Amino acid sequence: MEAEWGGRIIEPDQVEQALAKRPAKIVSIVHAETSTGVLQPIKPIADIAHKHGAILVVDAVTSLAGAPVEVDESGMDVCYSGTQKCLSCPPGGLSPITIGPRAAEILDARKTKVLSWYLDLTMLHSYWGGKERFYHHTAPVNMIYALYESLRIIHEEGLKARFARHELHSNALKAGLQAMGLSLFAQEDYRAPMLTTVRIPEGVDDARVRKSLMDSYRLEIGGGLGPPLRGEDMAYWAYGPFFHTRKRRAVSCCTGGRLACGGLRFPTRSGNRRCPGGLHMISRRFVQAQLLSRGSAS
């Protein structure tokens, strides 16, 4: 199915209509869409897929360990991720995957061989713990040790605290950017906490801003991904501090305030703004969070 490339979620009705028009065995969807910054609700899509006799495959590459990925509760049949983002285990190369009962039954009932060696889940299943262990690949031992360490760090922090930290820093970043007059690209109420996308204001040289940030501050923000972007309404920057070192200072450096402090002005509805407004809003968010934390502790 096709959907608008404008930072919006896939609505359940769209999936319902697509499956009614053209039945499918597999429905695949991205949980946290890197190219738009959208965090997609999964359970409504899973319910519709199952109603039409399909299984749901979910891409959680960006979201795992940065936001709740409720595999069983949401009804995901297959879910896979990567280690290089919120798991904080770069470089990429390992892909955690989980397969639920529906998908496992389909694999067990398969009559023909899978044509791809690398994507043959039946062989991987045998390699992992089947009745007859069958060699599939040589494991990257160093990367597995690295993943073990990243999981140890996540366990030490705790998932609840980790999700709350991503949410806090994301909200602070978004507040700082909006205080400068910049507008966010992703749909409100469905914005991923580990990735923030921002519309590039009219009259601002995208390449110049990103080069200035890299040259002056070693701060890299991504340009828009996806199909060709037309006009100011479809051009954006992507901020993605994924790692466990995400702290208040790092978020302050990522704000649009840093852009203005670098000598770049942004024409906004309220005139040219500089960094103090954005940094002030970030400070307010952190102070509010500290007050709430103290109140709940008492």
Q: How far apart are CA 55 and CA 47, in angstroms?
A: 10
Mean pLDDT score, 18-25: 96
Angle made by CA atoms 247, 160, 193, in degrees to the nearest 5: 55
Q: pLDDT (tens digit, 9 = 90+) per residue, 248-276?
A: 555 555 554 455 444 455 544 444 444 45
Residue 66 has pLDDT above 80, yes or no: yes
For the chain, strand residue ranges (E) read: 26-30, 32-33, 38-39, 55-59, 78-80, 97-99, 196-199, 222-223, 236-239
Mean pLDDT score, 208-217: 82
Q: What does CATH list as the number for 12-81+95-139?
A: 3.40.640.10
Residue 110 has pLDDT above 60, yes or no: yes
Shared fold status for 12-81+95-139 and 159-297: no
Break the chain into its structural domains and give their ranges: 12-81+95-139, 159-297
pLDDT of residue 233: 39
Among 184, 96, 104, smallest CA distance to 147 is for 96
Q: Decide if 221 contacts 213 (C-beta within 8 A).
A: yes
Confidence label for 219 from pLDDT (cuts 50, 70 and 90): confident
Confidence label for 242 from pLDDT (cuts 50, 70 and 90): very low
pTM of the predicted model as reported, rounded to 2 decimal places: 0.84
Residue 76 CB burial class (10 angstroms; 0-12, 13-18, ≥19): buried
Q: Decide if 19 contacts 52 (C-beta within 8 A).
A: yes
Return mean pLDDT, the chain: 81
Q: Do the strands 26-30 and 55-59 form a parallel or antiparallel pair, or are they unpaired?
A: parallel
Q: Decide if 41 contacts 11 (C-beta within 8 A).
A: no
Q: What does CATH list as the number for 159-297?
A: 3.90.1150.10
Q: Residue 288 — φ and ψ, nearest 5°?
A: -60, -45
Q: Decide if 122 contacts 114 (C-beta within 8 A).
A: yes
Omega of the bond leading into 241 within 30 degrees of 0 (cis): no
